[in-house]
Amino acid sequence: MSINIVEKIDDLVKINNVLVSVSDKKNLETFIPQLVEINPEITIFSTGGTFARLKEILGEKSKCLIQVSDYTGQPETQGGLVKTLDFKIYLGILTETYNESHKADLARTKSVPIDMVVVNLYPFKETISKQGVTVEDARGNIDIGGPCMIRASAKNYLRVASVVDSKDYAAIINELKEKNNTISLKSRFELAKKAFAHTAVYDRTIADFLSGKTFEEMSKCYKM
């Protein structure tokens, strides 16, 4: 397997396409309208409960909002188990600005480059903190799509801002205002560090929980 080595990138990247899928919806009511105000032509892709919340927040300005399932052409599975695990999503996140084959793939699939990914994860830690929680309760709160999007966007800090913490919203907005709707490589790199730390803690919490359970505790959750 050959590794793709990138040599040419941009310091400043315009934020035109944003993917938002969050469990913790805190501060979206200020962050999202500000993104739209800075760039009235922005497109925001979203899923499930986040889409519903953003539509409520944006009201008449929600024409910029698109369901991920409408974009990919693939409906969410029953219960929302699979929403964002789609080629068009990951092509959009991982594509590189100066890669001609990536440009061709975008054109072929009618995809767009995604410039910012705003994702936080299912509340696994909060779930296992509850009294009487079962292994199955915990298993159901293991996020799959979220960590994948975070890792993909953080890997491609060359072009994408990976946002996992609502405390960063204000600083991002300030930078976009100051730099004509662009975010710097320095900021993208710092956000990537935070994103990988976020998924590392999440996976460690899952691993520690499962390691602390016996086969008997797990198997009694199910009929066999």
pLDDT digits (tens, 9 = 90+) for 68-101: 999 998 877 665 666 677 899 999 999 999 999 9
pLDDT digits (tens, 9 = 90+) for 159-172: 999 999 999 999 99
Q: What pLDDT sits at residue 195?
A: 97
CA distance 214 to 159: 44
Which whole number is the average pLDDT over 7-23? Answer: 96
Q: Which domains does the chain have, with CATH numbers?
A: 12-220 (3.40.50.1380)
Name the pLDDT band for 42 (thresholds 50, 70, 90): very high
Q: What is the pTM of this model?
A: 0.93
